[in-house]
Structure 1
Amino acid sequence: MVMKCFQFHIGEKREEAKTPRPTSVQSSFTDHEIRQSGSEFNSQNASEESTESRGRSQFPSLSERPSNLKVFTFPELKQATKNFSRTTKLGEGGFGCVFKGIVKISEDPAQKIDVAVKQLGRRGLQGHKEWVTEVNVLGVVEHPNLVKLVGYCAEDDERGIQRLLIYEYMPNGSVEEHLSAKSVTPLPWAMRLRIALDAARGLAYLHEEMDFQIIFRDFKSSNILLDEQWNAKLSDFGLARLGPPEGLTHVSTAVVGTMGYAAPEYIQTGRLTSKSDVWSYGVFLYELITGRRPLDRNRPRSEQKLLEWVKPYLSDAKKFQQILDPRLEGKQILKSAHKLSLVANRCLARLQKTRPKMSEVLEMINQVVEGTNGTGNPQPPLMSKEQKKKFEEPEAKGKRRIADMKIGDGGWLVRVWSSKLVKTC
């Protein structure tokens, strides 16, 4: 089930800067639209000088970098998805439907690959801005733990403008689906650790391993997909932003993201840093530990907010067992899960400056994995997502009720985690 996203403004609305004309997009329509939309990646509004960021090179325009994306025609994609048939539909997100398709990637007709085709709905400029961002980001970055963007389509037809994105196909769906109570084959603990490791690698790459920084801004379990070998990859970069340039500590933006994952200081001020992603990653670790969503209105009132619910159980090892996903078995899992919670607590430090960088988080997760014995090999569930479809209950057709998030509601997020468990400085 896909979690809803929220969007609201705090304080004064930021002014969009003019951006250079991109050279990486090959469609004349796309080129025009990227210029018109301002390509959110290239229009940053940051403030406050930082001693930490001095000496760092100015981030280049992503649109000036070479891109290997394939440009598809709309008729090609109609054929690839059987005219966007319901039988090929994989799911529906906040900005459109996703279909499975088969496309040619070269002149050789025998060379075909399975892909996921996202067709953006006609919801105005906002959806298109996110389409542009995905093209600009995934067209120039490449990592084993990032979903690969194969190509895009942007053209007119009798129904108007068509905007589509074509990704590598991820047959085992999202981590959120496998953590769901409806999943027949829940993820084993060793597999959860491997997913935590893969996700940390992806974020560390975005934050620290390029000559520019990308802040994901919408890190969550539904945006972590699993390939055929159950490797985890980050997906859906529509809300991503370039990090602050040299001499600046943050990027000021409208507050967007998913309720339950967003860092408290970002909700309250709109000041975005890579540490916002680190907070979201900490929330995700508790998802892996508990098997619960960050915000679940279907639970009793005292258990609806994951971070609030787990706090009383963290200072006592005996109590800690009560928050462990009941579908997990084995004494060694408890010890390993507690170690993972200590990493989560570091990520969830109230002051964003005291949170570790993702490279440091990755090192800590590595230590948890290496120090874990007796939890078995990271074997995947017995059935893939597609194989087990017929065994799972159909999800309700109605949309999940999501309560409005007010600025004042962010208070539950900002308390300091128990000093008995972790030192955050």
Structure 2
Amino acid sequence: MNISVIGTGYIGLVAACCLANSGHQVFSVDKDLDKIEKLNRGVIPIYEEGLETLLNKAQQSGKITFSSEIGPALINTDMVIIAVGTPATADGRVDMSYVNDVAESIIDLAAYPLTVIMKSTVPPGTGKLLCKRFFSRAKVPISYSSNPEFLREGKAVWDWYNTDRIVIGTENQETAEKVMELYRDIDAPKICMDITSAEMVKYASNAFLATKISFINEIANLCERVGASIDAVAPAIGMDQRIGPHFLQAGLGYGGSCFPKDTTGLDYISSFNGYHFSLLKSVIEVNTNQRVMIVRKITQALDDLHDKKVAVWGLSFKPDTDDVREAPAVDIIKHLIAEGAHVVACDPVAIDQVKGVFTHNRLDFNTNPYETCRESNAILLATEWSQFLNLDWIRIKGLMKSPYLVIDGRNVLDDKTLQNMGFSYIGVGRS
């Protein structure tokens, strides 16, 4: 099929490259001229495992084209996939301006019947509103489907081909069959439902996963107070098949482009519709507090942060991505600087993403984790990149200053070994 993908972010670019490598002819659009220029040269503007290889294969086969103009994308195309950003506003509302702009362009420029597929995460009820406000006014027939993504950043290519399910929301069987054809080479359950229910699946899934994270962090915080160990408690909880082991890793809380935005978005949607979602509000509150609590631990351990040097390992919200949106490390660094600390931050790929966020003389960057430790009073492991897990701790201690504090924000270091070496170790929920 001929497919146009609008948006070349973490979702749109993965969708475009994967569909092209499945044999479809893909026309990918983004208004960012610099990004389009890089993509046409085969340069990936984001860090995503396996994506550059897919892009190169698709370009060599002539199956993918990039442009900053949406007009050509609506000529001789069977489907238009919308994969633009839906960021959160200050009050938690979902900003639909990019989606609305694309919808307006489609009804203005579409000259042939086509199917619109929504990949962007949009509030439940959006599809019906788009059809009413925009697509019903088009000069040509336009069918609509909600087809939410369930891709993990850093593992998105793998997830595309190995997904747990493909959700298709539409009002007629013919459209559902067209969308299913996109995934003919993927062996996964294909679940059809109405549009609004499909939109809700995405929000509900992310909210539930965020709830598991906040719950286990609450249990970890309680473990510290009663003398239990989350390292023993969490795996035992996860062995219950009704619960499962995933997302039960205590730490600094969730971040990224999905969980924070989708939890606050669902909270706003609930309030707008007259429902007080108490559980979800608590999930959001716990996640915010988790970052403050780790700063409190550092402050107490160092007595005072003023003129103390803290090395922060990891800036991205999780390993294997350069995405720093809502990353715990970014918030924590802001707190540390506000308390007078000097911070040296290290990350394999995300430093450039963070440099634009800070313009402070008490923050430096270094790609060498050892150099970040030089003369530092403390190390905070904020993101569990593999590069940080097998370092020479004898060398590190020789570079540091008393009290040789290690704050393991992800509970991935060997606490007993570090303590035996003379480090002061602080984890999350470890007795």
TM over 0.5: no
Higher helix share: 2
Give the TM-score normalised by structure 2: 0.27
More contact order relative to length (CA 8 Å, sep ≥ 6)? 1
Instruction: Name the larger-Rg structure.
Output: 2
